[in-house]
Amino acid sequence: MTPEEIQRTIDFIVQNLADSHVRMERLEKSQKQFERNHKRFDERQDRLVESQEATRRDLETLVAVTQDLVRVSRQTVRRVQDLESRE
């Protein structure tokens, strides 16, 4: 190999190493961004689950109150009917 060929080979290797380093830095940056996004996603998902559980508890309470109201309404209707039938 001539000295020029050796120099070109060395330059080629150095350039490839530099390009590889740049790609590795970009990959690491991308991975860190992915991890941040994943963490935010997990936090949002946790908040959503908590919100769903709170909504479920509220709905269960609403169902119980509605059932009580229906029961009271039926009793009231029966009492009114009893009173009307006495007349």
Structure tokens at 20: 């590889």
CB neighbours of residue 47 within 10 Å: 10
> Has residue 87 got a pLDDT over 80?
no
Which tens digit of pLDDT belongs to each residue from 25-76? 999 999 999 999 999 999 999 999 999 999 999 999 999 999 999 999 999 9
Lowest mean pLDDT among 4-8, 27-31, 80-84: 80-84
Give the pLDDT confidence score for residue 20 in this predicted structure: 97
CB neighbours of residue 73 within 10 Å: 10
Which tens digit of pLDDT belongs to each residue from 17-26? 999 999 999 9
